[in-house]
Structure formats: C-alpha cells, structure tokens
C-alpha cells in the first residue's frame, strides 16, 4: 500500500532545529533545514550523521530564514544534497545573510578556540565555512507568494504570508489530493512592523508550532518600560545593552526608540547598533518594502538617528565611551555575535542594564540570565553578573497560545491529525490539551527522529 512517511528530524519535543522530510512515492520533500541550538545534547545532534540519504532529497522548502530553520543547509549540501532550496525572495535574502554571517562566526570561533586552547576538540572545527555557505546559496530559487507551484503531478505547494519576520510564510502542500499545512513560525496579529498573519482554510494534516503554547503575552506598555530603563541608564551613566536578533527585533527596537525620541519622551542618548548581520538586513527591508509597514522615509530617518557600527575597532571605542548609552547588538539569545564582547566587559558592572526581548531557548546564555544566573561563561572564562536583567516578553515575534488558536479559527474541516512541533515539553503539552478540549481535534506530539506513516 502506498504511503507518505513523515520524518521528524528536528523541532520535535524541542523548540529548535526544524527539519521535516516527507518521503512520498517517487519524490522526497524537506520542509526547513535548521540547526539545533541550546543545550549541549541538542547541539551535539548537529554533528551526527544525517538520518536520511541526503542525495535522495529532491527539494527543500523554507518557511523563513532564521538559523533554527536554515542553519543546517550547508551541512546537508556538503553531505550530498543537490536539489533546489526554495523560499520567498526576502526569505532567501535573509537566509543568505544569516548563513554567511554564521559561517564567518564559525570560522572565527574555531580559530580563536584553537589559538587559546579552550575547546575540548583538537582541532576545533567550524560547523560550516563561508565556502560551504556560498555553495549552498547557489541552490536558492525564489517562488512567488500566494501562487501554487507544481513539483510533480501529485505534489504542489503554496507560500502564505505569516508575519514573524520579513519573508516568513506558512506552507500549504497538496500531496496526492491531501492538504498538508506547515505553520512555520506564526507571527503576531498586532506587530509593529509586519502585517497580521494569513490563516489556513483547510488542513488534512497540520504541523503546528508551539513555542508559546503554554503562555499568553502580557499586556504591558513596552514604551513605558523602555522610557523607565533609559532614564535609569542616564542617571547611572551606565550602558543599556539590548541583545537582539538581527532580523525584525532589531528593526522593531530601533523603530520604538526612534519614535520615543521623536515624541521627546527620551533624552538625546547615543544609540549604537552593533550587528553586522543586522546592517545587511536593512537592505532587505529597503528592497522588499511591500512586506512591512515602515515607509522608506521613516526607515531612512530611523537609521540616521542611530550610530551604525561597522568595525570591531568601533565596538571597543563604544565600550570605552564614558557616556550613558544604548547598545543593540546580536545575538538575541546571547549565543554569539558582538553582544558577547560588550557583556564580557560590562556584565560585572551594576550600572549596566540588560534587556531581553525575545524567546530565550533552553541553556542559552539569555535563558541563564533570565533565570538569575550569578555568572556567565564567555570564551572559556566565567564573569560575575552584577548587571540588572529585564525582560519585555510582549516584543516576542511568536504568537502566544490565544493567537495560535485564532490562527486555526478559519480551518473549516477537522484535520485527520495535528502534529505539535517547535516547542518545549510544557508548551507542547499545554497546547495539546487546549486544542483537544476546545476543538476536539486529534493531537500528536512526535518525538525526535520519529517516523509517522500516512496511507494514501
């Protein structure tokens, strides 16, 4: 009997490493190809042999460009994948920036670890190199949103706008007359920069993200909190550090600070943007203005108000600058990037304020800070945490439980099965119970590397 096999190779029982293979008669399709982040046990999965014949994968479809959805692509190509990698034009532009930036960081960190001898591996190796990333980018192919695209006579797909970050979509697949819907990461209904997510109308099989499946984002005044923290920073002549994801959160924070300055609600405090990847993302916002709400003139004014750092020398000059200041630097979970240099130098100072503004995955430095860590490890050494740590949860780019349920509200049928993915165990189970109780749908929480067979 003919069947489709779904291979859950990531974001299954966890919130990271999104990878799903649909093995069908005569054609193998992959949805997302992310790397694992967070706890060591998960990160080690990245280095294991891929559990599916890579040369047998025909096409990869990307929901969006974040590393936990795209970061394994160069490894897959290196292991023999030779098909097309398809996404919306802004998703591919973001993915190119993220892969090249990550490759550079991988190479630099491996070199530093070998030079300073703080890695357990001899020698420490880059997870993927710039050359690997460039080879991967050559396989990119853009597809129009809202149009059906045919892969075979039995398989077609469509990308639908999903908020979250620029270019992000959910994917509708028509497989052998059944509709499979992969939610990707669902955005917010009232995002400052992006339009509300579209909603699916039909799903025979639904693959649903659950990042905040157990939470409702608080009703809090983001602007009031920012004004309060900035005033504290000015009074203490301190440094206000905002670790930020380079895509969307960086632009959102910049927009908020620019508006507050325009409205004269904050003083003329210097604002430094130290994110090489974020600087590259600006061009994507400028190129794809139809994907977001900011006008070209607003975007230009916003950038002019900020001090955009373009070299590592300027990073150190900013650290040594005695003025009260705001620094926005990658990465958002404090796993890498320029923010590590600032925190390494300033986290022991009580006049330093740290504001976390997005989801903090398990075992990341961001999560450790959130949970009250008294010291953090950077580049092989521990540093005491004397800085104040704050969180604005409502700036998350992920839908909360109520928004996820609203996203499901236009589905006219009862799916044959709903698979909950991209969530930590408590979030997955809370959303499972909520969907089961409120919608009476059949809900499944697949395990990592589980294979589910669907008869045709």
Q: Which two tokens stand for residue 442?
A: 């059949």
Domain with CATH 3.60.15.10 in the chain: 3-215+397-455
The answer to whether 420 touches 14, Cβ cutoff 8 Å, is no
Q: State the pLDDT at residue 419.
A: 98
Peptide bond into 27 cis (omega under 30): no
Calpha distance 33→205 (Å, rounded): 20
- Please list the residues that pair with 283 across neighbouring strands: none
Q: In what order do the strands lie in the sheet with 388-391?
A: 307-308, 271-274, 325-329, 239-243, 352-356, 388-391
Q: Which residues are CB-contacts of 189 (< 8 A; sequence separation ≥ 6)?
A: 163, 196, 197, 399, 403, 406
Domain with CATH 3.40.50.10890 in the chain: 222-395
| CA 404, chain centre distance (Å) | 17
Q: State the pLDDT at residue 100.
A: 95
Q: Which two tokens stand for residue 129?
A: 């190199």
* SS3 category, 151: strand
CATH class of 3-215+397-455: alpha beta
The answer to whether 6 touches 451, Cβ cutoff 8 Å, is yes
Q: State the pLDDT at residue 350.
A: 97
Q: State the pLDDT at residue 63.
A: 98
For the entire predicted model, the pTM comes to 0.92
Q: State the pLDDT at residue 410.
A: 98
Alpha-helical (H) ranges within 30-88 are: 40-43, 67-70, 73-78
Q: State the pLDDT at residue 119.
A: 65
Nearest to 452 by CA among 210, 158, 209, 207: 207
Calpha distance 258→264 (Å, rounded): 10
Q: State the pLDDT at residue 261.
A: 94
10-residue mean pLDDT profile of the chain (456 residues): values are: 92 96 97 92 92 97 97 97 98 96 87 75 85 98 98 97 97 97 96 96 98 91 94 97 90 94 95 90 94 93 93 94 95 90 96 92 90 92 96 89 98 98 97 97 97 94
Place of tokens 């797909």: 157
The angle that helices 276-287 and 296-305 make with each other, rounded to 10 degrees, is 160
Q: Percent helix, strand, coil in the chain (nearest 5)?
A: 35, 25, 40
CATH fold group of domain 222-395: Rossmann fold (3.40.50)
């Amino acid at each position: 009997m003919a069947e489709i096999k779904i291979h859950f190779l990531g974001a299954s029982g966890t919130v990271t490493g999104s990878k799903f293979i649909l093995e069908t008669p005569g054609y193998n399709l992959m949805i997302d190809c992310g790397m694992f982040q967070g706890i060591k046990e998960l990160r080690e999965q990245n280095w294991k042999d891929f559990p599916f014949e890579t040369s047998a994968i025909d096409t990869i479809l990307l929901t969006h460009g974040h590393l936990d959805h795209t970061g394994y692509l160069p490894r897959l190509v290196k292991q023999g994948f030779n098909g097309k990698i398809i996404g919306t034009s802004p998703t591919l532009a973001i993915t190119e920036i993220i892969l090249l930036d990550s490759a550079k960081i991988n190479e630099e960190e491996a070199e530093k670890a070998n030079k300073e001898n703080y890695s357990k591996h001899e020698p420490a190796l880059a997870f993927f190199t710039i050359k690997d990333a460039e080879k991967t980018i050559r396989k990119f192919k853009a597809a129009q949103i809202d149009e059906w695209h045919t892969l075979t006579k039995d398989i077609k797909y469509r990308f639908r706008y999903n908020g979250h970050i620029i270019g992000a979509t959910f994917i509708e697949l028509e497989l052998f007359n059944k509709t499979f819907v992969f939610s990707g990461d669902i955005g917010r209904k009232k995002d400052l920069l992006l339009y509300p997510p579209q909603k699916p109308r039909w799903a025979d099989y639904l693959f649903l993200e659950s990042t905040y499946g157990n939470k409702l984002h608080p009703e809090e005044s983001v602007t009031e909190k920012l004004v309060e923290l900035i005033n504290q920073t000015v009074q203490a002549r301190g440094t206000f550090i905002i670790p930020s994801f380079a895509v969307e959160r960086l632009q959102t924070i910049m927009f908020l600070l620019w508006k507050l300055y325009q409205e004269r609600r904050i003083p003329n405090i210097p604002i430094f943007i130290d994110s090489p990847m974020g600087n590259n993302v600006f061009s994507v916002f400028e190129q794809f203005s139809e994907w977001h709400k900011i006008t070209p003139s607003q975007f230009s004014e916003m950038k002019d108000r900020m001090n955009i750092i373009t070299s590592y020398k300027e990073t150190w000059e900013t650290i040594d600058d005695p003025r009260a200041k705001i620094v926005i630097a990658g990465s958002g979970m404090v796993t890498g990037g320029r923010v590590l240099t600032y925190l390494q130098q300033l986290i022991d100072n009580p006049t330093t304020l740290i504001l976390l503004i997005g989801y903090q995955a398990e075992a990341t430095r961001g999560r450790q800070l959130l949970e009250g860590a008294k010291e953090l490890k950077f580049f092989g050494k521990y540093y005491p945490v004397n800085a104040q740590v704050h969180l604005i949860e409502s700036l998350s780019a992920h839908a909360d439980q109520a928004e996820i349920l609203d996203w499901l509200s236009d589905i006219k049928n009862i799916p044959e099965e709903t698979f909950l993915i991209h969530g930590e165990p408590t979030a997955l189970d809370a959303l499972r119970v909520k969907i089961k109780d409120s919608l009476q749908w059949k809900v499944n929480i697949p395990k990592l590397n589980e294979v589910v067979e669907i008869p045709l």
